């Protein structure tokens, strides 16, 4: 096992802070690509061969870095799968989520989800390189730009890359040290309500408000949530109307549904499609958007977890696992049957909030585990 003195939390933070200062919300292509530039430079310093795939469909680029291993193999290598987009809008760093340390907590947009995880993975390889230790298998980093919106432009590339590898290590954050061996299924829907136009002052009674109809539909959609069964529905965005003196003739909402089983996943789809109707001047259309398939724990993943569990015990901590509702690109690779261990990133809390932070005390143990996995997987 590698000497613990090779790992330094301050050094990890020093490499991470410039990344956090580079705000990279999914929808800002230029910002995401600036973040990809920083990551590509870091991978080049590790000796990786960089492949950059231009973005499509209004998203940023995909960056892949490849490093050779110490042993010849025909069975594939290790894929480190990460995203560098965040949910925080530009200006968050100067506003409600400033970059700061408070005891064991380090706050910042994307520091926990998931730039911290990418940095500990890269630092693990840097430590191996300094120690003169080669990974037994070739290692590839794949950095995607659109995970926070369901990876619509990168899913195909992720699945193709995963099929070429023996293991997938996902640097999503953990909470309370628990890694992920399965994830619930996710599906997104667009609900569009079409109304009837009219002057809101002069001819109000002749119109049909799409916004009013949508408000009623939102209550019905979220009312379908069944926490005991693990089936949830959440309306996250709504846009509608043009001028206050015009009856709104279109309103559009985005819905996220989560399901712990395939049967519930299919039931959720049927429930959403049932909202499609046309009545009294109101027409409702439901379209399904990006889907994350159900990833159930399987033999290959559990064997990988047991390996990580034993390594963690040697390092000095107990590693636990579970299946969870938070989606990730691990849904894609795990559902393919590829050995996938998710939640290998930093510990902390507050993902997608203005309280997002990592725990500095988690950096060295998690980095050591990553390094030992890279060193020993064969």
**281: domain CATH number?**
3.30.70.360
What is the tens place of the pLDDT at every residue in 320-336?
Answer: 999 998 899 999 999 99
180 is written with which tokens? 């992920």
* Residue 143 and residue 68 share a domain: yes
pLDDT tens, residue by residue, 167-213: 999 999 999 999 999 999 999 999 999 999 998 888 888 899 999 99
Q: What is the mean pLDDT of residues 250-268?
A: 98
Same domain? 70 vs 124: yes
Examine the pLDDT at 74 and tell me if it is beyond 70.
Answer: no
Tell whether the model's pLDDT for residue 75 goes beyond 70. no
Q: What is the pLDDT of residue 76?
A: 87
Predicted local distance difference test score (pLDDT) of residue 72: 56
Q: What is the pLDDT of residue 70?
A: 72
Query: What is the pLDDT at residue 247?
Result: 95
Flag whether pLDDT at 248 surpasses 90: yes
**What is the overall mean pLDDT for the chain?**
96
Instruction: State pLDDT tens for residues 13-35.
Output: 999 999 999 999 999 999 999 99
Whether 103 and 35 share a structural domain: yes
What phi and psi values does residue 200 have, to the nearest 5 degrees? -65, -20
- Whether residues 298 and 372 fall in one domain: yes
Q: What is the mean pLDDT of residues 273-287?
A: 97
Which backbone phi and psi does 193 adopt, to 5 degrees? -110, 125
CATH (domain of 306): 3.40.630.10
- φ, ψ (nearest 5 deg) of residue 119: -65, -40
Answer yes or no: do 234 and 131 share one domain.
no
Nearest CA to 353 out of 29, 175, 113 is that of 113
Mark whether 124 and 70 lie in a shared domain.
yes
Provide φ and ψ at 205, rounded to 5°: -70, -15
Apex 290 CA angle, 286 and 295, nearest 5: 120
Q: Count how many domains the chain has.
A: 2
339 phi, psi to nearest 5 deg: -60, 115
C-alpha torsion 29→30→34→37, nearest 10: 70
144 and 155 fall within a common domain:
yes
pLDDT tens-place string over residues 79-133: 999 999 999 999 999 999 999 999 999 999 999 999 999 999 999 999 999 999 9
Q: Is 90 exceeded by the pLDDT of residue 137?
A: yes
Cα distances (angstroms) measured from residue 340 to each of 82, 241, 264, 268, 308: 13, 45, 23, 26, 11
pLDDT at 69: 85
Give the mean model confidence (pLDDT) for residues 223-242. 97
72 Rama class: left (phi>0) / alpha (psi -120 to 50) / beta: beta
- Residue at which a domain ends, from 248, 263, 292: 292
pLDDT for the residue numbered 73 = 65
Question: Does the N-terminal peptide bond of residue 114 adopt cis geometry, omega within 30 degrees of 0?
Answer: yes
Whether the CB-CB separation of 242 and 248 falls below 8 Å is answered with yes
Question: How high is the pLDDT of residue 164?
Answer: 96
Q: What percent of the chain has pLDDT over 90?
A: 95
Are 303 and 226 within one domain? no
Residue 36 structural domain: 4-183+294-376
Residue where a domain stops, chosen among 264, 292, 320 = 292
Reported pTM: 0.94
User: Is the distance from CB of 101 to CB of 16 less than 8 angstroms?
Assistant: no
pLDDT (0 to 100) of residue 366? 98
Q: What's the CA gap between 319 and 91, in Å, rounded?
A: 37
Please report the pLDDT score of residue 337 as a whole number: 97
pLDDT digits (tens, 9 = 90+) for 119-133: 999 999 999 999 999
Domain boundary among 292, 314, 345: 292
Instruction: Please indicate, yes or no, whether residues 17 and 141 belong to a single structural domain of this protein.
Output: yes
The reply to whether 26 and 174 lie within a common domain is: yes
* Dist. CA 103–CA 359, nearest whole Å: 9
Considering all CA atoms of the chain, what is the largest pairwise distance in Å, rounded to the nearest integer? 80
The answer to whether residues 263 and 174 belong to one domain is: no
* One domain, residues 206 and 283: yes
């Amino acid at each position: 096992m590698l000497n613990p003195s090779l790992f330094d939390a301050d050094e990890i933070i020093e490499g991470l802070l410039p990344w956090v200062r580079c705000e990279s919300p999914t929808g800002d292509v230029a910002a995401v690509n600036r973040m990809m530039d920083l990551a590509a430079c870091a991978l080049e310093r590790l000796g990786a061969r960089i492949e950059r795939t231009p973005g499509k469909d209004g998203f940023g680029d995909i960056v892949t870095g490849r490093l050779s291993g110490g042993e010849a193999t025909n069975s594939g290598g290790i894929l480190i799968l990460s995203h560098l987009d965040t949910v925080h809008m530009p200006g968050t760093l100067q506003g409600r989520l400033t970059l700061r340390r408070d005891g064991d907590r380090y706050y910042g947009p994307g520091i926990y989800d998931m730039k911290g995880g990418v940095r500990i993975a890269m630092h693990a390889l840097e430590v191996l390189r300094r120690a003169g230790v080669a990974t037994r298998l070739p290692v590839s980093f794949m950095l995607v730009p659109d995970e926070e919106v369901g990876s619509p432009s990168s899913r195909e590339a992720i699945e193709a890359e995963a099929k070429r590898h023996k293991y997938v290590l996902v640097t999503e954050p953990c909470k309370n040290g628990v890694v992920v061996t399965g994830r619930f299924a996710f599906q997104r829907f667009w609900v569009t309500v079409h109304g009837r136009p009219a002057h809101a002052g002069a001819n109000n009674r002749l119109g049909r408000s799409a916004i009013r109809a949508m408000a009623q539909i939102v209550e019905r959609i979220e009312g379908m949530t069944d926490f005991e069964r693990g089936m949830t529905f959440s309306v996250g965005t709504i846009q509608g109307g043009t001028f206050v003196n015009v009856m709104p003739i279109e309103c559009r909402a985005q819905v996220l549904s989560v399901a712990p089983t395939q049967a519930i996943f299919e039931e959720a789809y049927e429930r959403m499609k049932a909202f499609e109707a046309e009545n009294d001047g109101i027409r409702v259309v439901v379209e399904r958007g990006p889907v994350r398939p159900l990833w159930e724990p399987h033999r290959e993943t559990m064997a990988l977890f047991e390996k990580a569990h034993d390594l963690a015990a040697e390092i000095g901590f107990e590693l636990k696992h579970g299946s969870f509702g938070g989606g990730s690109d691990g849904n894609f690779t795990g559902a393919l049957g590829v050995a996938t261990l998710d939640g290998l990133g930093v510990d902390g809390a507050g993902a997608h909030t203005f309280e997002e932070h990592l725990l500095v005390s988690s950096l060295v143990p998690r980095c050591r585990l990553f390094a030992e996995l890279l060193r020993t997987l064969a």
